[in-house]
A and B are shown apart, each in its own frame.
Chain A
């Protein structure tokens, strides 16, 4: 039973289109993250948020943008998709206090293909 949801699971879209990848969590976590991962490769942090109206860029430069208007919702937007954006995008959230020992909870990911 997933507590963090990503939609869509798969997306094939043409170059130049604007897309928004959705991520929602029902755990009340303040911290949320977006990772980009190519097949067989390592996770790269592209954005994170420590709470409402807080967004930061991650270690890997990305042309995407994020927003955090509500605690439970952390969407990622690409204004103009390009083939180089083809990848898997994983959303995660993190609880504090006693739940800190449980690490991140990841969504199932969105596999994006830009043609």
Chain B
């Protein structure tokens, strides 16, 4: 079982739609969580960190549920420029590669006019 699992998509949505991505992680000792965005043929870039209390950045809202070990990302009023692959990421506190980020395979989002 992968340590971080995401629905690969693709999610094809019209402009203005609200779209939600979920992600589950298997290491209960995971300490930090992130969402990264990766455009085609580009490097991943940090979109936002995910806090236990949930956090919002403009149209983006991230939630963490430690009891169920899942993370979500909600994008409201989606734009064409939101089209990208979204990577769910955890950082385990313990384990052989302590402190290394664990990347999910990514969920591809395509926003259509």
User: Is A61 at the interface (CB under 8 A from chain B)?
Assistant: no
User: Is A42 at the interface (CB under 8 A from chain B)?
Assistant: yes
User: Is B69 at the interface (CB under 8 A from chain A)?
Assistant: no
Consensus secondary structure, chain A interface: strand
Against B, the Cβ 8 Å flags (1 = close, 0 = not) of A75-115 are 00000000000001010001000001111111111010000
Smallest CB gap from A90: residue in B: B43
**Distance of A88 Cα from B40 Cα, bound (Å):** 12
* Min distance, Cβ B51 to any Cβ of chain A, angstroms: 9
* Min distance, Cβ A90 to any Cβ of chain B, angstroms: 6
The size bracket of the interface on A is: 20 to 34
The one of A42, A94, A100, A109 that contacts B43, using a Cβ cutoff of 8 Å: A109
A45 CB contacts on chain B under 8 angstroms = 100
Q: Is B101 within 8 A of A102, CB to CB?
A: no
A90 CB contacts on chain B under 8 angstroms = 43-44
User: Is B99 at the interface (CB under 8 A from chain A)?
Assistant: yes
Against A, the Cβ 8 Å flags (1 = close, 0 = not) of B35-52 are 010000111111001000
Q: Is B43 within 8 A of A33, CB to CB?
A: no
B106 CB contacts on chain A under 8 angstroms = 42
User: Is B97 at the interface (CB under 8 A from chain A)?
Assistant: yes
Smallest CB-CB A-B distances: 9 pairs: A106-B43, A42-B105, A103-B34, A43-B103, A103-B46, A101-B49, A109-B43, A106-B44, A90-B43
Known: A39-B41, A103-B32. 4 other contacts (CB 8 A): A43-B44, A43-B103, A100-B32, A106-B45
